[in-house]
Amino acid sequence: MSFLRMCFVFGLVTAVLGVAVAEEAGGMVWRDGSELRIDGKGWSDTPTPYSRLPERAEEKVRKPVWDRSLKSAGLVIHFNTDARKISFKWTLTSGSLAMHHMPATGVSGLDLYVKNADGKWLYVRNARPTGKSSTGSVNIWDAEKGNMREYKLYLPLYNGIESLQIGVPEGAKFEQPDVSDAKPIVYYGTSITQGACASRPGMAFAAMIERELGVPLINLGFSGNGRMEPEVAELLAELDPQVYVVDCLWNLTRAEDETIQERARNLIWKIRSKHAETPILFVGQSNFRGLRTGKTEALLEELEKAGDNRVENVHFLPGRDLLGDDGDGTVDGVHPNDLGMRRHADVLIPAIRELIAEEPEPKDAGEAKSD
Amino acid sequence: MSFLRMCFVFGLVTAVLGVAVAEEAGGMVWRDGSELRIDGKGWSDTPTPYSRLPERAEEKVRKPVWDRSLKSAGLVIHFNTDARKISFKWTLTSGSLAMHHMPATGVSGLDLYVKNADGKWLYVRNARPTGKSSTGSVNIWDAEKGNMREYKLYLPLYNGIESLQIGVPEGAKFEQPDVSDAKPIVYYGTSITQGACASRPGMAFAAMIERELGVPLINLGFSGNGRMEPEVAELLAELDPQVYVVDCLWNLTRAEDETIQERARNLIWKIRSKHAETPILFVGQSNFRGLRTGKTEALLEELEKAGDNRVENVHFLPGRDLLGDDGDGTVDGVHPNDLGMRRHADVLIPAIRELIAEEPEPKDAGEAKSD
């Protein structure tokens, strides 16, 4: 017998392994999500705890933008617990659980990550939606079981949350970490930003950026409707992030070049009227084996003019490597699958890292505040 | 304005871009899939053109193995055409189109690849299932449009095909390439081999191996039922591949160590009784942050005994890098998403390459035989 690789090491069982099990009849203490802090939100005055734009925006933005803001893409419940089992009950706003090219786990599921000893976030397990209302449990098996651990629960990408409860066994500690003092990244985009077509919410590239840079991220991806509109630009300017990212070209492929240029100019002005220095990163259209619609060039022309007019700190990232060059990064020629999401993150993370002031030091779970 | 990357190149539009369009009322010439050669089959005497085991196996193997053999995982229709539009009509054996963690495009969809000028296979577009019977069309936009091109159409991973037709516009050429004279790879495994949970059939790691090595591959992944059974071992021995790959440990996690060892021993004997030299590659259990069930060690012990008994050309590939170490390679902790499928292929392709005699030279579409 020959060994193809001699590096086979018999590892210790140190895994955090989540296994979906039938929920126990009792003995769980439930917390309502609406009473917990939800990260990834730009505004607190939203119509529901699980939506993304302030109530007053309903009158301002087009209805399709508003409708998409009610999907919970990018929202994250962040908690610490020593529980050896974590349970979920959630009711969605729509019983339409999946899309043809995106599974129910991505459209409507919950996705749990844990921080390991090195401060890295690792996937634990997801909870599968089985109907408009679902329940799920995750057993935490770990060498350090019984220790306080820090968790993030990513909410559905293409559905809304009507109600959500998180349960841990009686006697288990459950705490909310301090609010991060790092200013967020604001990422404005299309369906691709919203998370189509990740297999689960933690695989959206925006979630990867947030986890890997350790900086809060506000996902303002609006499927089919990320169009650099003045009304949205005004809302963006209300926020105070470390970086704005504007990644809208796929939703402007039918727009005139002049429209794109006018909207980019307006967006830069709106932001600069409130934030003289904040970096603004425009992203070129992702593409697939050389397809170009010319919209990236139209945008680029406008950004060059901004430079000529001494508008500082406006940046451009080409989109051509976002999907790779083999076509395997998409599920349908446009929307990334999980491989394409990873490729997006690999291009975007270093680009954004150059523009953020400082990555925060990882905090110990021990520093967390009790809820 | 600053450029984060100066390497932005305005590429030529040389893409093969498929766009799903409404099917034209007429003017298409349809070919029935049952009259075309279907690659990736180990036997021709199957109960339907779109299934994977010979009819006589129904009496031999357990019913769950048989049932899964009726799913079209790994089957590929290979054709050349100069058509600028390619259409599909297909009826599935089950109206259950998707799984919670695997989209309909992967479970029940069709997936089209084209060979580019360098001999590489690139994704064109997939056809989405919308019901038990579906139709779909792909427009071929290409700098070389109107030229003969070589295509592969991957069939559904977790559904069966009742009937399938491929249509091209009247007047377009449609040919079948010569049968490859390369002996195949036979890959025996579990749901992961069958293709769970790829977003589309071409993203199953077995399909990537076949495309990237340019060697036909017979996918004998049987979801939940790849258990190194004697009945299947006997069927495997009937074939005459370049390499056997046996990747069954996830479906043996509840088996006794002795059972695993006995089955591995029997499988090696069965194959060796017919094929004195053919390499047999056993794959260790893929794992996720160090999880080990001990089954890999049980298998390894048996393979070492085979070595002591001078059974030559039996190899072992550790499974620990198949999914990566961040947990992001799975959709549910076990089954690869498209990122995990790519990681599988990155580990498996070089390992299998070492064992195959020779990768065939890419053929020109011009050498193809008319049907």
At B32, phi and psi to the nearest 5? -80, 130
Which amino acid appears at position B200 of this protein? R
Region of poorest pLDDT, from A153-157, A305-309, A322-326 = A305-309
Q: Which of B306, B320, B333 sits opposite A1 (nearest CB)?
A: B306
Q: Which of A129, A326, A339 sits opposite B100 (nearest CB)?
A: A129
Which CATH architecture fits B28-40+75-178?
Sandwich (2.60)
Max CA pair span of chain A: 72
Partners of B8 on chain A (C-beta within 8 Å) are: 284, 316, 318, 320
pLDDT at A203 over 80: yes
Give the DSSP letter string of A226-294: ----HHHHHHHHHS--SEEEEE-GGGGTTS-HHHHHHHHHHHHHHHHHH-SS--EEEEPPP-STT---S
SS (H, E, C) A308-327: HCCCCCEEEECCCCCCCCCC
Kindly report, residue by residue over A39-87, the tens digit of the pLDDT.
Answer: 999 999 999 999 999 999 999 999 999 999 999 999 999 999 999 999 9
Tokens encoding B273: 């009784």
Nearest of A161, A209, A154, A153 to residue A186 by alpha carbon: A209
Q: Do B4 and A317 touch (CB under 8 A)?
A: yes
Q: What is the torsional sign of CA A266, A267, A272, A274? A: positive
pLDDT attached to residue B91? 98
Kindly report, residue by residue over B209-220, the tens digit of the pLDDT.
Answer: 999 999 999 999
> How far is it, in rounded angstroms, from Cα A285 to Cα A296?
6
* Residue B214 three-state SS: coil
| Host H or E run for residue A215 | none
Give the DSSP letter string of B26-40: S-EEEEEGGGS-EES
pLDDT attached to residue B366? 41
pLDDT at A123 over 70: yes
Asked if residues B151 and B114 have their Cβ atoms less than 8 Å apart, the reply is yes
> How far is it, in rounded angstroms, from Cα A106 to Cα A111?
9
Partners of A126 on chain B (C-beta within 8 Å) are: 101, 331-332
Partners of A287 on chain B (C-beta within 8 Å) are: 15
pLDDT at A279 over 50: yes
pLDDT attached to residue B360? 58
Between A and B, how many residue pairs show a Cβ–Cβ distance under 8 A?
A: 227
pLDDT attached to residue A13? 26
pLDDT attached to residue B142? 64
Which amino acid appears at position A298 of this protein? A
Q: Do A4 and B333 touch (CB under 8 A)?
A: no
Q: Which of A100, A124, A328 sits opposite B203 (nearest CB)?
A: A328
Averages of pLDDT over each 10 residues, chain B, 371 residues: 38 30 64 95 97 98 98 97 95 97 98 92 94 94 75 98 97 92 96 98 98 96 98 98 97 96 97 96 85 83 88 93 91 95 98 83 44 34
pLDDT attached to residue A24? 45
Partners of B341 on chain A (C-beta within 8 Å) are: 339
> How far is it, in rounded angstroms, from Cα A129 to Cα A92?
9
Q: Do A100 and B130 touch (CB under 8 A)?
A: yes
pLDDT attached to residue B4? 46
CA distances from B170 to A170, B30, B82, B127 (A): 70, 9, 11, 21
> How far is it, in rounded angstroms, from Cα A144 to Cα B19?
51
Residues contacting residue A304 through CB under 8 Å, at least 6 positions apart: B1
CA distances from A331 to A71, A94, A125, B219 (A): 21, 23, 23, 22
| Correct CATH for A28-40+75-179 of 2.40.30.330, 2.60.120.260, 3.40.50.1860, 2.40.37.10 | 2.60.120.260
**A73 CB neighbour count, 10 Å cutoff:** 30
Q: Do A314 and B1 touch (CB under 8 A)?
A: yes
Kindly report, residue by residue over B321-333, the tens digit of the pLDDT.
Answer: 999 988 899 999 8
Partners of A303 on chain B (C-beta within 8 Å) are: 1
Partners of B7 on chain A (C-beta within 8 Å) are: 318
What angle separates helix B295-308 from helix B257-274, to the nearest 10 degrees?
Answer: 40
Q: Which of B12, B99, B333 sits opposite A17 (nearest CB)?
A: B333
pLDDT attached to residue B370? 35
Query: What is the Cα B291 distance to its own chain's centre?
Result: 27
pLDDT at A361 over 90: no
Nearest chain A Cα to B340, which residue? Answer: A339
pLDDT attached to residue A16? 34
Residues contacting residue B279 through CB under 8 Å, at least 6 positions apart: B242, B243, B244, B313, B314, B315, B355
Mean pLDDT, chain A, as a whole number?
Answer: 88
ipTM score above 0.90: no
Determine the residue among B199, B247, B289 to mutate to test chain A binding: the one whose Cβ has the most chain A Cβ atoms within 10 Å: B199
pLDDT at A129 over 50: yes
**pLDDT confidence band for A308 (50 / 70 / 90):** confident
Q: Where in chain A is the domain with CATH 2.60.120.260?
A: 28-40+75-179
The angle at the Cα of B321, spanning B212 to B334, to the nearest 5 degrees, equals: 95
The angle at the Cα of A70, spanning A69 to A72, to the nearest 5 degrees, equals: 90
What angle separates helix B338-353 from helix A338-353, to the nearest 10 degrees?
Answer: 100
pLDDT attached to residue B316? 96
pLDDT attached to residue A117? 86
Q: Do B199 and A203 touch (CB under 8 A)?
A: no
Region of poorest pLDDT, from A14-23, A181-190, B293-302, B355-364 = A14-23
pLDDT attached to residue A45? 97
> How far is it, in rounded angstroms, from Cα B257 to Cα B297?
9
Q: Where in chain A is the domain with CATH 3.40.50.1110?
A: 185-353
Asked if residues B295 and B249 have their Cβ atoms less than 8 Å apart, the reply is yes
Q: Do A281 and B199 touch (CB under 8 A)?
A: no
Q: Which of A102, A327, A354 sits opposite B103 (nearest CB)?
A: A102
Determine the residue among B144, B246, B338, B342 to mutate to test chain A binding: the one whose Cβ has the most chain A Cβ atoms within 10 Å: B338
Tokens encoding B91: 């009826």
Give me the torsion for CA of A272, A278, A280, A281, rounded to 10°: 170
Q: Do B327 and A122 touch (CB under 8 A)?
A: yes
What does DSSP say about strands A280-283 and A243-247: parallel, antiparallel, or unpaired?
A: parallel
Q: Where in chain B is the domain with CATH 2.60.120.260?
A: 28-40+75-178
CATH class of A185-353: alpha beta
